[in-house]
Amino acid sequence: MTGIGFIGIGLMGHGMARNLIEKGHALTILANRSRERVDDLIARGATEAKTPRELAAATEIVLTCVPTSEDVEGIVYGDNGMLAGAREGFIHIDTSTANPVSTLKIAADYHARGLRFADAPLARTPKEAQEGRLNVMVGASQELFDEILPILKCFAENVFRVGDLGAGHKIKLINNFMAMSHASVVAEAVATARATGVDPKALYDLVSAGGANSAMFQMIMPYVLEGDASRLQFAIANARKDLSYFIAMANAAKTVGLVGPAVLQTLTLAYGLGHGHKLVPHLTDVLTQLDGRTQG
């Protein structure tokens, strides 16, 4: 089986890495802030590298799953970066939600060295990552896609080739724009229901039976009704980052967009008030508090 490297042992990355090990791949990982997750993978047979350069030199394929494009570039470049350690035939698969401008720059620098790069961002949640049921959208040539598909299927239920290099990150930003727009609408609707005396349970029952229902609504409302935010384990800070990338991409394409800036304003307001580390369902409380009310 292929020797694989993995950088980004977070909520999503841990489940992905564990599934790669369970499917028989020799896995080398990079240290993470959460030693518990790293130690769990080492106990399952993974090897730990000290630098991205060391990890790239020891593997044929490296997957990254980190928060920002700046993080990806920090892994790739520099004396201890993967570009300095990668060998002929090396493939970097970036599963982060990233800025397509950065993606294309990194890919060009890899290609100049005869190395390969694919963008393969993810959909669904850490629960599906643990279960090996993520959705993956890949930007790559058909040849490279066919080569990496067996690796991606180790942790994915559905893998879509959505176009050539960069297409994966572009479509992921569009997807997240839609998702976080709806999340912001649900949060505002809940805050308005509380302000006007509408029972959130009555709102849930009505919307669940009608055209306004959605997967996003169903992921947020368990928090509103039961305090359970586990259905949507996505931080407000990450949502804000994704919306800023989306708007930068849309502006570069000279599109007319009115909703995106409003959603970004909502997320930026929550972030600025110190709620960036909280999960997106907590937007319902942020907007309720801004209205001068308490939850309930």
- On whether residue 196 sits in a domain, the answer given is yes
Residues 155, 12 share a domain: yes
Residue closest to 172 by CA, chosen among 243, 229, 237: 243
According to the model, what pLDDT value does residue 292 have?
A: 84
Distance separating alpha carbons of residues 177 and 246, to the nearest angstrom? 7
> Per residue in 98-157, pLDDT tens?
999 999 999 999 999 999 999 999 999 899 999 999 999 999 999 999 999 999 999 999
Residues 68, 139 share a domain: yes
Residues 152, 195 share a domain: no
According to the model, what pLDDT value does residue 296 have?
A: 54
Residues 154, 9 share a domain: yes
Residue 1's pLDDT band, with cuts at 50, 70 and 90, is: low
> Per residue in 194-248, pLDDT tens?
999 999 999 999 999 999 999 999 999 999 999 999 999 999 999 999 999 999 9
Residues 156, 261 share a domain: no
Domain boundary among 122, 137, 165: 165
According to the model, what pLDDT value does residue 180 have?
A: 98
CATH code assigned at 65: 3.40.50.720
pLDDT at 295 over 70: no
Residues 208, 82 share a domain: no
- Show the domain range for 265: 170-290
User: What is the dihedral angle through the alpha carbons of 36, 40, 46, 48, rounded to the nearest 10 degrees?
Assistant: 20
- On whether residue 295 sits in a domain, the answer given is no
- On whether residue 204 sits in a domain, the answer given is yes
- On whether residue 296 sits in a domain, the answer given is no
According to the model, what pLDDT value does residue 236 have?
A: 98
pLDDT at 166 over 70: yes
> Per residue in 64-86, pLDDT tens?
999 999 999 999 999 999 999 99
- On whether residue 83 sits in a domain, the answer given is yes
Q: Work out the end-to-end distance of the chain between its first and last CA atoms, rounded to an integer number of angstroms.
A: 54
Residues 184, 99 share a domain: no
One-letter identity of residue 100: P
Residues 139, 71 share a domain: yes
Domain boundary among 115, 131, 165: 165
Q: How many structural domains is the chain composed of?
A: 2
Distance separating alpha carbons of residues 119 and 52, to the nearest angstrom? 18
According to the model, what pLDDT value does residue 270 have?
A: 97
> Per residue in 8-57, pLDDT tens?
999 899 999 999 999 999 999 997 777 899 999 999 999 999 999 999 99
Residues 176, 156 share a domain: no
